[in-house]
Amino acid sequence: MTYLKQFIRKNKKLSFLTLLALTLQTIGTLAVPFLIGRLIDVGITSGNQSLVIKIGGQMLLVALLGSLSAIWGSYLSAELAATYGYQVRHDFYQKTQELSIQDMEKFGVSSLLTRMMNDVTNVQREFMMVLQLILPAPIICLFAVIMTFINSPKLALIPLTSVVIYLVAVFLLLKKGLPLSSKIQEKLDRMMVKLREFFNGINIIRAFDNQELEEEKNNQRFSDYASSMVAVNKIFAFLTPIAYLIMGIVFALIIWMGSLLVGQGNLQIGVVTAVVEYSIQTLGYLILAAMVVVTLPRAVASLNRIEAVLTTTPEISEEKTAVCEANTSEVLVKFDNVSFAYKGAEPVLEGISFDILKGHTTAIVGGTGSGKSTIAKLLLKLSTINSGDISIHSHSFNTWSQHDLRKTISYVPQKAFLFNGTIESNILMGNPTATAKEIQQAVKIAQAETFISNQPHKLQAPVSQGGTNFSGGQKQRLSIARALIKKADLYVFDDSFSALDYQTDANLRRALKTEMPDSTFLIIAQRLSTIQDADQIIVLDEGRIVGQGTHDFLLKNNQTYQEFAISQGISLEGVE
Ligand SMILES: Nc1ncnc2c1ncn2[C@@H]1O[C@H](COP(=O)(O)OP(=O)(O)OP(=O)(O)O)[C@@H](O)[C@H]1O
């Protein structure tokens, strides 16, 4: 509820006006039966024509004002709900930018999507319904009962008893239905996880001819969700019939008792009419409120799920204590005895120390799972280290904000990813203000010139979601071009040349050297041919540095490196 309270405080004026409009609507609703009673008892009974016209006019005015307030109230509550939806999605988006890999994994991508879309829509819809249907209900009930008491304490007992009976019924049904309905969002989450996996892996499922097995798994989740919905709806299906039953009994009793009292001369006919009207309103609002109350647990569950993300304290501290600027030191990045473990797992990196010198190419090689990509992710401050320190431009990591840090680094991920749009829009993500010449230059270095010029629409060629209409090597080259167009102090390539053929790989490395001679590169690779020209090569084995030096030096002196070389067909003959 913390975020909701903050939102209301932030939108005080709109919240106040909405409440005002809804109060006016309520007053209008309550005034009509009162005037009907007066019209019958004071106007019609006395045969006073002008009084009838006057009260009729008052009724018309009250009804008109009530309707206008209702329209205004609906408009404002819709605006308030839409503003909530917009602001919460905006803050949600911002929050996900601050979260570490582990924070993100704690929620999961599917759950984050469901929270941002479905949960926000639930709360938004509930917001409107609570404002329009739940808030006025207790006021209307209270005033209707008071007005009925003023008119006839005896008759008032009938609607009062009916309200109590109805509320007890609602309470009992809610008690049974609440635990079930709050679980529905979790089931929706599980259904989304399975569906996402199904659509992402559809080619693999088809390749292994696993459609039936997957369909069965999906159907299980669908039916699990559906049966929960049916169970909840079955419970709450009783609410409306109970309300109508009570309403029927109340009318019959009021008219029966009212006729007796009128016959005895103890009550006027207008009062009976007013009491019937008040009872209709009371029960009518209670029926509507009960219908909304039924959806409340699900909305509260949604609200809690949204707030769980919004109130998460990011694992990565954003305490920026220094103005981090480039300096004259030769060292761009310093890893000083860094150790790191993913939450709840064994350490992935232990005692890592090395420097990345400005204008040099540093490479990291190592077997699968040795921790190479983790080093790149640490550099992007996507996780916090357990011990040691990383500094950039001689400023410790802790003093850099994520934003400033990411401005200094350009990154090509291991798995090339393209966004829906065009080739040009994807490249411009690296630098939205880049000129046509700069695009051309990046494309040229990334060895993407030929294949782009073979596209019918060249740079404007469409890219589908995830870049599925391009081959692995083409996606890698476009990801590289996107990274190169950014003006950065350090360019990190996380196994980004793996899908390139040997010739393209060699051409690209040559172009990097000749076209960007002063830039600093960190190249993570499995293929030794990709990194053999690097100024410094770091050899990783099970999260520890087991060798450091040039290709020739390592080939002569490092056993792990020699094993890599042999496994990749590089001859050790002649190496002493
Ligand atoms: N998000 C994560 N959560 C938990 N463990 C992880 C996570 N990412 C990687 N790991 C583990 O950390 C270790 C190092 O992974 P990393 O991706 O850094 O290796 P790598 O050297 O880049 O491997 P590869 O060459 O196969 O890409 C692996 O054992 C892996 O299982």
- Catalogue all structural domains in the chain, each as residue range(s) with its CATH number: 2-310 (1.20.1560.10), 412-533 (3.40.50.300)
Most informative mutation of 106, 315, 338, 370 for ligand 1 (most atoms within 8 A of CB): 370
Q: Which of 146-150, 228-232, 301-305, 344-348 has the lowest mean pLDDT?
A: 146-150
Work out the pLDDT band at 482, boundaries 50, 70, 90. Answer: very high
- Note whether 149 and 156 are within 8 A (CB): yes
User: How far does the centroid of ligand 1 lie from the alpha carbon of residue 368, in Å?
Assistant: 8
| Confidence at residue 285, expressed as pLDDT on a 0 to 100 scale | 80
16/532 Cα distance (integer angstroms):
69
- Residue 447 CA to ligand 1 center (angstroms) comes to 29
540 DSSP β-pair partners? 366, 545
Tokens of 227: 């049966």
Answer yes or no: is the C-beta of 415 below 6 A from any ligand 1 atom: no
pLDDT at residue 574, as a whole number: 61
Q: Is the CB of 372 under 6 A from ligand 1?
A: yes
Extract the tokens encoding 98.
């601050």
Give the least confident one: 232-236, 370-374, 390-394, 492-496. Answer: 232-236
Look at the chain and count its residues: 576
Higher pLDDT, 564 or 207: 564
Q: What residues pair up with 411 in beta bridges, in sequence order?
A: 492
Tell me what the mean pLDDT of segment 133-138 comes to. 80
Tell me which DSSP letter residue 312 carries: P
CA distance 443 to 450: 9
Mean pLDDT over the full length of the chain: 86
The predicted model gives 359-388 an average pLDDT of: 90
User: Which pLDDT score, from 0 to 100, does residue 541 have?
Assistant: 93
What's the gap in Å between 392 CA and the centre of ligand 1? 23
What is the predicted pLDDT for the residue at 425? Answer: 94
Cα separation values, 362 from 534, 535, 539, Å: 6, 6, 11
- Return d(Cα 217, Cα 559) in angstroms, integer: 48
Q: Give the pLDDT band of residue 317 (cuts 50, 70, 90).
A: low
Q: Give me the helices (H) in 99-152, please.
A: 101-107, 109-114, 120-129, 136-151
Write the pLDDT tens digit of every residue in 251-261.
888 888 888 88
Least confident of 54-58, 206-210, 505-509: 206-210
Q: Per-residue pLDDT for 397 more than 90?
A: no
Smallest CA-to-CA distance from 284 within 75, 63, 29, 67 is with 29
| pLDDT at residue number 534 | 93
568 has a pLDDT exceeding 90: no
Mutate which of 107, 342, 496 for ligand 1? The one with the most ligand atoms within 8 Å of its CB, which is 342
Task: State how far the alpha carbon of 114 is from the alpha carbons of 186, 354, 564, in Å.
Answer: 10, 42, 45
Closest ligand 1 atom to the C-alpha of 494?
22
Stretch 533-545: mean pLDDT:
94
Pocket of ligand 1 contains residue 342 by CB under 6 Å:
yes
Residue 418 near residue 478, CB atoms below 8 Å: yes
Q: What is the DSSP letter of 487?
A: -
Confidence band for 295, pLDDT divided at 50, 70 and 90: confident
The CA distance from 106 to 108, in Å, is 6
| 358 phi, psi to nearest 5 deg | -60, 140
Give the tens place of pLDDT for each residue, 427-441. Answer: 999 999 999 999 999
* Residue 531 amino acid letter: I
Gap from CA of 54 to ligand 1 centroid (Å):
82
What does the pLDDT look like over 65-82, one tens digit per residue?
888 988 998 899 889 989
Identify which of 109, 372, 564 to mutate to test ligand 1's pocket (most ligand atoms within 8 A of the CB): 372
More confident residue, 291 or 120: 120
ipTM score here? Answer: 0.96
366 pocket-lining for ligand 1 (C-beta < 6 Å): yes
User: Given a cut of 70, is residue 324 above it in pLDDT?
Assistant: no
Establish whether residue 374 lines the binding site of ligand 1, counting it when its CB lies within 6 angstroms of any ligand atom: yes
> Quick one: pLDDT at residue 97?
82
Query: Is pLDDT of 464 > 70?
Result: yes
| Span 540-552, average pLDDT | 93
pLDDT band at 326 (very low <50, low <70, confident <90, very high): low
Mean pLDDT, rounded, for 295-320: 79
CA-closest residue to ligand 1 atom 8? 374
Reduce the DSSP state of residue 7 to 3 states and report it.
helix
Please state at what angle helix 239-263 crosses helix 153-200, rounded to 10 degrees. Answer: 170
* % helix, strand, coil for the chain, step of 5: 65, 10, 20
Report the nearest-CA residue for atom 17 of ligand 1. Answer: 373
Top-confidence residue, 393 or 211: 393
* Contacting residues for 151 by C-beta, under 8 A, at least 6 apart: 37, 271, 274, 275
Rounded average pLDDT over 210-236: 85
> What integer is the mean pLDDT of 100-115?
82
The interaxial angle of helices 153-200 and 211-236, nearest 10 deg, is 170
Contacts of 248 (CB under 8 A, 6+ apart): none
**Count of Cβ atoms closer than 10 Å to residue 503 Cβ:** 9
Write out pLDDT tens, residues 194-219.
888 888 888 888 888 888 888 888 88
**373 CA to centre of ligand 1 in angstroms:** 7
Please indicate, yes or no, whether the overall pTM of this predicted structure exceeds 0.90.
Answer: no
28's tokens = 């209008």
Least confident of 240-254, 318-332, 420-434, 466-480: 318-332
Instruction: Give the Cα separation of 243 and 137 in Å (integer).
Output: 14
pLDDT at residue number 320: 56
Q: Is the pLDDT of residue 530 over 70?
A: yes
- Residue 575 predicted with pLDDT over 70: no
Per-residue confidence (pLDDT) for residue 484, from 0 to 100: 95
Ligand 1 atom index nearest CA of 543: 14
**Rounded to an integer, what distance in angstroms lies between the CA atom of residue 119 and that of residue 113?**
9
Considering 27-36, 187-196, 326-335, 454-463, the range whose residues carry the highest mean pLDDT is: 454-463
Ligand 1 lined by 543 (C-beta under 6 Å): no
State yes or no: pLDDT of 100 exceeds 70: yes
- For residues 119 and 107, what is the distance between their CA atoms, to the nearest angstrom? 14
Task: Give the pLDDT score at 322.
Answer: 56
User: Average pLDDT of 137-160?
Assistant: 80
DSSP 410: E
Residue of the nearest CA to atom 19 in ligand 1?
A: 369
Report the C-alpha gap between 561 and 569 in whole angstroms: 12
Q: Per-residue confidence at 576, pLDDT binned at 50, 70, 90? A: low
pLDDT-based confidence at residue 536 (cuts at 50, 70, 90) = very high
Distance 543 CA to ligand 1 centre (A): 10
Ligand 1 atom nearest 375 alpha carbon:
18
Task: Report the pLDDT value the prediction gives residue 6, as an integer from 0 to 100.
Answer: 86
Does 262 score more than 90 pLDDT? Answer: no
Tell the residue nearest (CA) to atom 16 of ligand 1: 371
pLDDT at 499: 81
CA angle 185, 186, 188 (to 5 degrees): 60
CA distance 349 to 337: 10
- Between 36 and 540, residue with greater pLDDT: 540
